[in-house]
Structure 1
């Protein structure tokens, strides 16, 4: 990440703060939305009518071959500052202003219906993060190639921290990494994902590891600690998980008719946030290693849930012509200790007419081994900046870890 340490030594907020906040809000709305999808599949009698509407809307989405989703906060900077009070990282005004204007857009196209799509069926996908200064980050994924660009100058203007210069890069990166200038200038670069995987395996072995994919037979490395292979969730386990989650949903999630306004039918799902989140993970825990190799070690622990508020949160789903057109969630209840005026909605809009994802012209190809070398050099500089000096004796770093 861009250096957050100005001359006076006081830390400013970075892109990592933005992305962390985005990740948290996505998790919040995603969990409630996923539980709602489960609820409509096994709704009780009193939930059947609105639940059936929502179930049909999800089914219609699954039949599409493309999807575009836009997400953003509909909040004022003052509201965001109020939400962050009492936390370990209170939000400064500049960051609150930037967060209030952030938009995240995702789109994908598939050769099959989305409900039947597997990894090889996706013909293209993209993700873009935009702010008041324009597009900040954009990535496109086509076949085995990833294209991306970042506007560091826009980031710097948005956060109030200085953008790195070419002289900074030259001082901290190994010589000959021409792609670094391209990234700094906001131009498109591209990486072959298969070549990147091979380079990462090579680097892992050079560092004494067994490679990210284990042995040739796809099993774990000799030390038994290197997870590898594909998830092997059995049909029996899938059915068991579904039954367990249905139990959580039936006990904790309520679904009701939200009426009709703005040309759409509304269905509202409500649940106590921490209770539901913890219950879901408790039910998934026994199957974690089946779902993802090494998954059990990555599951949240009991203490991780203590700081999560247990306020009731609701997701309002808007349906037009039987299709899911939007969803919104008020984040204000999640800031239990803060005094917030009005709602702080996280809004998502859905569109089934996503444009085809195309490769940008004149993208500069990056050698994966050079990219890894550059990342290691920057990481070394970041570690050095904490007390021993960075690369070439510098005492600050372009990136923070």
Structure 2
């Protein structure tokens, strides 16, 4: 009951944010994953600093929001000190910025030549005419805005969606399907879960949830089979790959509301040689997501013109 009430209280908020990242140090991560193929200490250092944050806000309580995508939503990937990628959806516009060099550095296996190619492209961006300021902003890691409907129409009219094999965006779950899918997942997991109070700390209650791993995975797949949208997601997933043992999850509850989830992902990996705790910190009273100031709108035609400009520059060189 405590867990259900904690989720219910979170759903009564008009906004929330969740930050995901590994709770251990680089040494902890390396100790747990050193037996994985091609896993180096540099990978452990990168993962230790990596954080993913998601925020959403609505005019109504989250539980009454029919389509969260129509509210304001943001996603950010950071290295612990600065955002590498940030995307915000506010109203009819999507805003984004990315530090291309920092994102490229996440690939610890990349060669020096890859960095040189990126440097060359960024230098060419300085030569773009003023009419392509939005493209220049994008390459320089500054905010740009775009209208998804305009881009979708352009891609469809130009036939690029078929050439690239892009999925049909009309196949997304509608609000009614979203509700049914969530209920199906709750039932599949709830029927395989056991709850036990754990020692609290600093005014935060903890509950250990134990789930029968393989059975829960099979029930989850069966629950989502009626939705064709999940067909590709489960194409390469086999419940038999999930360990046939209990999986423990820690839920943190503060002031009666869910405030965190912690899971040792090493429980799913037979090669792991140590604990690998993944932590999700939840704030049920996050600030609303707003449009960034100083963004420049990027239009499909601008992008195509910039590509032609850059290609022409490479040919001359």
TM (norm. structure 1) is: 0.64
Q: What is the aligned counterpart of 1:131 among 66, 69, 79?
A: 79
Distance 1:307 1:81, change over 3 A: farther
Which residue in the other structure is 1:360 paired with? 292
Q: Are residue 112 (structure 1) and residue 60 (structure 2) matched?
A: yes
Bigger mean CA deviation after superposition, 189-198 or 112-121: 112-121
Q: C-alpha offsets along residues 94-149 of structure 1, whole Å, 9 cap, x if unaligned?
A: 22101101111221211111001123784422111111452211111101111111
Q: C-alpha offsets along residues 165-198 of structure 1, whole Å, 9 cap, x if unaligned?
A: 46336889xx875544322321111111111121
Which residue in the other structure is 1:221 paired with? none
Residue aligned with 1:300, SS: coil
Unaligned runs of 5+ in 2: none
Which protein has greater RCO, CA pairs closer than 8 Å, 6+ apart?
A: 2
Give the CA deviation at 1:208.
8.0
Which residue in the other structure is 1:268 paired with? 208
Residue aligned with 2:141, SS: coil
Residue aligned with 1:337, SS: coil
Distance 1:131 1:248, change over 3 A: closer
Residue aligned with 2:60, SS: coil
TM (norm. structure 2) is: 0.79
Unaligned runs of 5+ in 1: 1-51, 213-225, 382-390, 395-401
Asked if the contact 1:325/1:351 (under 8 Å) is kept, the reply is: yes
Question: Could you say what the CA RMSD is over the residues aligned between the two structures, in angstroms?
Answer: 3.9
Which residue in the other structure is 1:79 paired with? 28
Q: C-alpha offsets along residues 236-262 of structure 1, whole Å, 9 cap, x if unaligned?
A: x949x9579636632x32111123222
Q: Are residue 246 (structure 1) and residue 195 (structure 2) matched?
A: no
Q: C-alpha offsets along residues 213-236 of structure 1, whole Å, 9 cap, x if unaligned?
A: xxxxxxxxxxxxx6846657989x
Q: What is the aligned counterpart of 1:198 among 153, 158, 175?
A: 153
Count of residues in Structure 1 that have an aligned counterpart in Structure 2 = 305
Which residue in the other structure is 1:183 paired with? 138
Distance 1:365 1:243, change over 3 A: closer
Which residue in the other structure is 1:141 paired with? 89
Asked if the contact 2:133/2:296 (under 8 Å) is kept, the reply is: no
